[in-house]
Structure 1
Amino acid sequence: MRLVIYVRDKSGKLKEIENVKAVARLRNYLTEDSHLSIEGMTKLITTLHSFQEITRHHYLKDVKCVATATIRQAVNKTEIEKQVKEQTDFTMQILSEYEEAYYGFLAIVNSTSLEEGITIDIGGGSTEITYFKNRELKEYHSFSFGALSLKKEFVSGDFPSEDELQVLRSFLRKQFASLPWLKDKNLPIIAIGGSARNVVQIHQAIISYPLSGVHQYVMSGEQLEEVKQYLLKFSFEEMQKVDGLSKDRADIIIPALETFQCLYEMAHGERFIVSRKGLRDGIFYEELTRDFGISIFPNVIEESLYNLAADYNINVNHMFHVTTIATNVYNLLADLYYVERADEDILDIKRGAFVYNLGCYIDGESSSQHTFYLLANRTIDGLFPRERLKMALIASYKSKPVFKQYIEPYQDWFTKEEQLKIRQLGAIVKFAYSLDTTKRKIVKEIKIEDTENGLVFFLKCSGDWQAEQYQAEKQKKHLEKIIKKPITVNFHSILSAE
């Protein structure tokens, strides 16, 4: 059971500020005839009382209390609802199978840019599977088994034997085979929930992953198997101390992993992706978007960038102008064959320019370092870790030596050619930023001539350009090093040029 407190921040989004977890495992208090026992009811009410103390302390009025599979499957759920309402501040909403699946789907499409995929949310007593295409929910199913119930039914001790694993696999394959729309999809499998996050955290610990965060972390089927084999070599006591694994999940992580693997095999998964956003986030996305008459963000990455702009006081009009200058310079250099044109580059320039020098919010003198760290280590919905790192490298570009310092832990993430391209884009954005250093948007037109003595930039301006000229002369060296040619920058008034 979990209590999460959100506050609406200055960008308008709901930001998580408290996250309190209680290991209740109510599934273990369901009797054979599916009644929640007196002990289970006591556990539920006691935990809600502890949550209630916190909500009262914060004077919270808008509190949603939702229950999932264990309460939904309980024969005495009406009595459970009644007791919760009478003994606590909360009114419990028992989610239907569809609602539980839908909110998980909603969390994923509003926090990733994936257009099509299969989602899995394995809880204690149920597992929700959905298929979405064009960011629309197409199919869903709720299985009446979860990590706790699988452990209870198929594992006699704390740790499964090989024979028990074989029986468990057979059961899971049969269950997933009952859904014809799952077979051979060749799509990403997107997992939400604590077990999925733990699988990623374990893998990150194994490979000494250099970034923080699990959102949109990508694994292959082989890597899922590696994690399982890594865990199986430990005793149960040793497993409880494994880095990345919550102690209270040690006895259910293998059944959860088997579930992920069986789904991956049945659907011929293209890759395994973990979303940090889950059921509760889906509920709050619905709340957040209710006033706008939509439930799904049209563009997740754009939404994330605007949130960054609000959080770090980015001057959006200035950044749009810098982006225009940067894309113009890139296209002109590409026309002259000094950079190799690619559609992806324009996207990277727009992202990098929008958050360029964001770290000055913390400290102007060391803004590059702050920019890189903040962007590389902050979850940015819609961006995979590699995309996030590329944006951080472009937005923080200062010089070749500093670039090498930042990219050192990630050398194997990019080829030498890709690293050169990132430096090119970073130098272009840095130069473009210098051309609007006073934030007056005076540069209206750019032309470049290729001469024997180097490139000549002709800039038509609508105001005094002394500050821009000073910065352009100072920053052009980074672009010169990239294109290996000297640059002359000529400023002209629009009126005099005409």
Structure 2
Amino acid sequence: MRISEGAYENGGNLQSHAMERAFNALREFLHIAHHYNTRKILCVATSAVRDAPNKHEFLHRIKKELGLNIKVIDGKTEALLGAIAASNLLPIEDGVTIDIGGGSTELALIQKRRVIDTVSLDLGTVRLKELFFDNDAPIKQALAFIHNELAKIPPHFTSKTAVGIGGTIRALSKAIMAKNKYPLDKVHGFAFSISDEKKFIDKLISAPVLKLKKFHIKKDRYDTIKEGTLIFREVLKTVGAKDVITSGAGVREGVFLKDLLRNSNYLFPHNFEPSVKSLLDRFCIDEKTQKCHYRLSKKLYEALYSIFDERKEYEKVLLIAAKLLNIGIKVEFYEHHKHSSYIVLNDLQYNLTHKEIVTIAALVRFHKRKLPNEGFVKTFRELLPHENILNWLSFILSLAETLNKDLTCPNIAVSFADKKLHIHTTEPLYLAKEEIKNLQKPAAFAILFD
């Protein structure tokens, strides 16, 4: 909507063209909500509206003509909402969230997934653009303004990890991904080292607008990307961050989660995986078999992990892969492993690292007797574990599915010693025994049924 456009050069007052644009957008958003028979609508306004002397004119018109109540939230609440989204939807325990908007920048300190403190600064991309960049003011003046606001950040706001929220940081992360030919087309959860990208960030800030295309910046970000990146760079220095993880979720998701989790301290349970649950709800057609694959995979892993994963770093991804193994059947049976992998790569989003997502996709892609092939591994090599680890995980998943070939979910015990994998069971498992002969193994050992 860019409702703040023109406001900061006019005493903070919302301009008529920006209010009209926002009105039109809200009217059509309501059309969409009504189409889906939405029963509850949450609408909040942030910096531009809360700072505007004429905000009541805008809010009154929206209420009168559209019947929509807009809640104007303060800066600390805005920071809290972004932090709620980050702590629930990103694989982090600690960090400082940095949400750069048009009129303000919000920070929140997260420790052990809990929001400890928040701060809001009158420092935003549009505000900086209209006060300095549009007037061709020396960058020293903009920096002085930025540093004056950054002085308001409490000294305990420090963390090695910065969580980037908002359009500026997503655009910057996408540019870094394009520059580095990053193999996964997913900005949520993308992480980078600040020292690795410092030179790129500095060059972007000083680049002429007409050269921004060379930095992989899209046209709709030309007018504010330099301002936003300048703010981001200076905030990163202030909080002492070494690494950035990008959030595709922000205030919008925070509004929803704050309402949803209002009785649980705004947090999902510790081991809850929202994206995994979503995929299972939409694509799992055989819950009994899915649970069986999980149970068998866990037993096999417990018997074998000391060979390839002594610190048990990959148990989590293996067991998620076991749950999502056959979700592609909902699309088509014979090539379901390919569909499962595609769905995981593109729709597994929240609370997982990119390395975890790609590893899970590889495991479900190659669970049909074969180990991961070189083509797939080459494409995603920087995000995959060592080949030996990947092959063992893939083998365990394939063996678990094979043991349940007759869909009876057999009761088994597993042990490994002297290069022999013993599967103890009273079940005949004729089909499984025949198919196991064709399984590719990650090392030389025998599979024996006792």
How big is each residue's C-alpha offset from its partner over 1:447-487, in whole Å with a ceiling of 9 and x where there is no partner?
Answer: 4453xxx62524213x553333333334xx322xx121333
1:338 is displaced (CA, Å) by 4.5
Q: Secondary structure at the match of 2:319?
A: helix
Q: For 2:276 and 2:19, how far apart are their aligned partners in 1? A: 45
1:444 is displaced (CA, Å) by 3.1
Letter of the structure 1 residue corresponding to residue 359 of structure 2? K
How big is each residue's C-alpha offset from its partner over 1:210-254, in whole Å with a ceiling of 9 and x where there is no partner?
Answer: 212101100121344344345357542342x45753423212101
Summarize the alignment of residues 108-187 of structure 1 with structure 2, pairs less than 5 Å apart: 108-156=86-134, 163-164=138-139, 166-182=140-156, 185-187=158-160
Call closer, same or farther: CA 1:31–1:192 in 2, change over 3 Å. Answer: same
Q: Which residue of 2 aligns with 1:12?
A: none
Q: Which residue of 1 aligns with 2:279?
A: 308
Q: Secondary structure at the match of 1:149?
A: helix
More strand by share: 1
1:300 is displaced (CA, Å) by 6.0
1:94 is displaced (CA, Å) by 0.9
Q: Secondary structure at the match of 1:457?
A: strand
Q: Which residue of 1 aligns with 2:436?
A: 472
Is the 1:110–1:300 contact (alpha carbons within 8 Å) kept by the matching residues of 2? no
Mapped pair 1:210 → 2:178: no
Q: What is the aligned counterpart of 1:376 among 332, 345, 354?
A: 345
Q: For 1:59 and 1:327, how far apart are their aligned partners in 2? A: 42
Q: For 1:285 and 1:25, how far apart are their aligned partners in 2? A: 25
Q: Which residue of 1 aligns with 2:74?
A: 96
Say how many residue pairs are matched: 449
Q: Secondary structure at the match of 1:29?
A: coil
Mapped pair 1:236 → 2:184: no
1:38 is displaced (CA, Å) by 4.1
Is the 2:98–2:105 contact (alpha carbons within 8 Å) kept by the matching residues of 1? yes
Q: What is the aligned counterpart of 1:279 among 204, 227, 251?
A: 251
How big is each residue's C-alpha offset from its partner over 1:13-70, in whole Å with a ceiling of 9 and x where there is no partner?
Answer: xxxxxxxxxxx34341356443334444444334434444544555555333321111
Q: For 1:456 and 1:266, how far apart are their aligned partners in 2? A: 55
Is the 1:116–1:134 contact (alpha carbons within 8 Å) kept by the matching residues of 2? yes
Summarize the alignment of residues 11-30 of structure 1 with structure 2, pairs less than 5 Å apart: 24-29=2-7
1:400 is displaced (CA, Å) by 5.6
Letter of the structure 2 residue corresponding to residue 355 of structure 1? L
Per the normalisation by structure 1, the TM-score is: 0.82
How big is each residue's C-alpha offset from its partner over 1:416-467, in whole Å with a ceiling of 9 and x where there is no partner?
Answer: xx121111111011111211223322223234453xxx62524213x55333
Call closer, same or farther: CA 1:103–1:458 in 2, change over 3 Å. Answer: closer
How big is each residue's C-alpha offset from its partner over 1:163-196, in whole Å with a ceiling of 9 and x where there is no partner?
Answer: 41x332333234223323356x232100111111
Q: For 2:33 and 2:317, how far apart are their aligned partners in 1? A: 43
Q: Secondary structure at the match of 2:302?
A: helix
Q: Secondary structure at the match of 1:128?
A: strand
1:113 is displaced (CA, Å) by 2.7
Letter of the structure 2 residue corresponding to residue 150 of structure 1? L
How big is each residue's C-alpha offset from its partner over 1:130-182, in whole Å with a ceiling of 9 and x where there is no partner?
Answer: 1011221111111112110011112135xx78x41x33233323422332335
1:322 is displaced (CA, Å) by 2.6
Q: For 2:162 and 2:403, how far apart are their aligned partners in 1? A: 45
Structure 2 stretches lacking a partner, 5+ long: none
Q: What is the aligned counterpart of 2:314 among 345, 348, 373?
A: 345
Is the 2:92–2:113 contact (alpha carbons within 8 Å) kept by the matching residues of 1? yes
Call closer, same or farther: CA 1:35–1:171 in 2, change over 3 Å. Answer: closer
Q: Which residue of 2 aligns with 1:20?
A: none
How big is each residue's C-alpha offset from its partner over 1:256-275, in whole Å with a ceiling of 9 and x where there is no partner?
Answer: 11111111111111311111
Q: Which residue of 2 aligns with 1:406?
A: 376
Call closer, same or farther: CA 1:485–1:346 in 2, change over 3 Å. Answer: same
What is the percent sequence identity of the aligned residues? 21
Q: Which residue of 1 aligns with 2:85?
A: 107
Mapped pair 1:199 → 2:172: yes
Call closer, same or farther: CA 1:342–1:300 in 2, change over 3 Å. Answer: closer
Is the 1:215–1:379 contact (alpha carbons within 8 Å) kept by the matching residues of 2? no
Q: For 1:232 and 1:62, how far apart are their aligned partners in 2? A: 42
Summarize the alignment of residues 67-78 of structure 1 with structure 2, pairs less than 5 Å apart: 67-78=45-56
Letter of the structure 1 residue corresponding to residue 304 of structure 2? L
RMSD after superposition: 2.8
Mapped pair 1:321 → 2:295: no
Mapped pair 1:457 → 2:430: no
Segments of 4+ moved more than 6 angstroms = none
1:202 is displaced (CA, Å) by 1.1
Q: Which residue of 2 aligns with 1:436?
A: 404
Call closer, same or farther: CA 1:77–1:420 in 2, change over 3 Å. Answer: same
Q: For 2:28 and 2:356, how far apart are their aligned partners in 1? A: 41
Q: Which moved more, 1:440-449 or 1:147-156?
A: 440-449
Q: For 1:44 and 1:412, how far apart are their aligned partners in 2? A: 43
How big is each residue's C-alpha offset from its partner over 1:335-369, in whole Å with a ceiling of 9 and x where there is no partner?
Answer: xx644522213223222222224333322222232
Summarize the alignment of residues 362-373 of structure 1 with structure 2, pairs less than 5 Å apart: 362-373=331-342
Q: Secondary structure at the match of 1:178?
A: coil
Structure 1 stretches lacking a partner, 5+ long: 2-23, 491-498
Q: For 1:288 and 1:380, how far apart are their aligned partners in 2? A: 19
Is the 1:213–1:379 contact (alpha carbons within 8 Å) kept by the matching residues of 2? no
Q: For 2:106 and 2:130, how far apart are their aligned partners in 1? A: 19
